[in-house]
Amino acid sequence: MSMEKPLQPLSPEYEEYVNKDSEALVRVIRLRVWYPLVRGIVLSKKKMKYVKAVNDVTFTIRQGEIFSLVGESGCGKTTLGKAIARLVPITSGSVMMYLDGKEIDFAKLNEKEVRMYRRYVQVIFQDPYGSLNPRLKVRDIVAEPLYVYGIAKKKEEVDKLVMKMLEQVQLTPPQDFLDRYPHELSGGQRQRVAIARALILRPRLVVADEPISMLDVSLRADILNLMMDLKDQFNLTYLYITHDIATARYVGNRIGVLYLGFLVEIGDADKVVFNPAHPYTRALIAAVPTVDLEKKITDIPIKGDVPPNPINLPEGCPFYPRCIYARDRCAKERPPLIKIDEEHFVACWYPL
């Protein structure tokens, strides 16, 4: 596949930050996920166009942390999470994970090896209505991973593990839920079943893709608190994907801000939220609902409603067409992630 221009070098300080992160469980290195756009007659590879969903993303996820990935709809955050879980093809780059003292590149595994890898990386999907098989009972939904990986074979043993897991996600008494179908559960109960299914294998990394966005507001804090309790209980690591920077800071240790498939800011959660250096990060924070009646939607520092076309990316900074602070250099050169503070990097020529 033609990658058009060669990859731009990482800044020396950011490359050192990623490579020397001794606590890293996962290292995502120069990751790209491009989808071929085929219309009518199939074109040659040189003429083929691609939807560039994830573009040259590099970061680490540390053992035991919650790494929050933030961005607006269509920025590529869900695709990035699916790529780490090997649910979509990886165009180029690496996803390195430390297992049993070895560093394994999951981008290079074959189908059989990927099947074993998924035991260690599980996903909690956004839609609890669509992610559960409506024809299976709760017992079978939660037990399926146990059968797939041969962890338990006898029905009595499986039921014991399933009921224990249901108790841990606060579906009690568990025997009342075993024989129910998804349509007999509320939205919050469905998401608890989805969490139980993801955690019953005791994974090392959980990709939580907007796990509360389709729930009632009254339930969201309960689910987030449950996930954090389970993190401590099972020694889990989360990649928490969200469009809401407020909840990203509430649960996350660090935050990465994604725009048009590019990582534009990354750092300690409090530093990113209280001292944002990228104009896009400031726009996300400005869009958070507030009780301040004098604040208007026009206060958001951004131009236009729609990001550039991911098929034809801007030449320079991806945020340049919408940035109210943009200068000539921004249109010509894409900024690398540069260090502005300890544990805080931004991809901007003129950080705020």
**What pTM does this model have?**
0.92
Position 201 in a domain: no
Q: How many domains does the chain have?
A: 1
- At residue 70, the pLDDT reads 96
In 3D space, the residue among 201, 155, 211, 212 whose CA is nearest the CA of residue 178 turns out to be 155
- At residue 44, the pLDDT reads 58
Position 77 in a domain: yes
Contact 197, 142 (CB under 8 A): yes
Two tokens at 103? 């560093």
The CB density around residue 352, as the number of other CB atoms within 10 Å, is 14
Strands in 102-105's sheet, in edge-to-edge order, are 49-62, 24-37, 92-99, 102-105
**CA–CA dist 237, 207 (Å, integer):** 9
Position 236 in a domain: no
Instruction: Give the DSSP H/E element, type plus range, for residue 94.
Output: strand 92-99
Position 126 in a domain: no
Position 44 in a domain: yes
Contact 205, 61 (CB under 8 A): yes
- At residue 49, the pLDDT reads 85
Position 153 in a domain: no
Sites in the chain below the pLDDT cut of 70: 1-5, 39-46, 290-300
Instruction: Give the DSSP H/E element, type plus range, for residue 36.
Output: strand 24-37
- At residue 133, the pLDDT reads 93
Two tokens at 214? 């389709």
Q: Which residue has the tokens 């606060």?
A: 170
**Among residues of the chain, what percentage have pLDDT more than 90?**
69
Give the structural domain span for 77. Answer: 1-120+244-316+327-352
Position 300 in a domain: yes
Two tokens at 235? 């020694």
Position 218 in a domain: no
Two tokens at 117? 């890898």
- At residue 307, the pLDDT reads 81
230 three-class SS: helix
In 3D space, the residue among 315, 249, 239, 328 whose CA is nearest the CA of residue 281 turns out to be 249
Q: Which CATH number fits the domain that encloses residue 346? A: 3.40.50.300
H helical segments located in 55-210: 77-84, 111-117, 138-148, 155-168, 187-199
**CA–CA dist 278, 280 (Å, integer):** 5
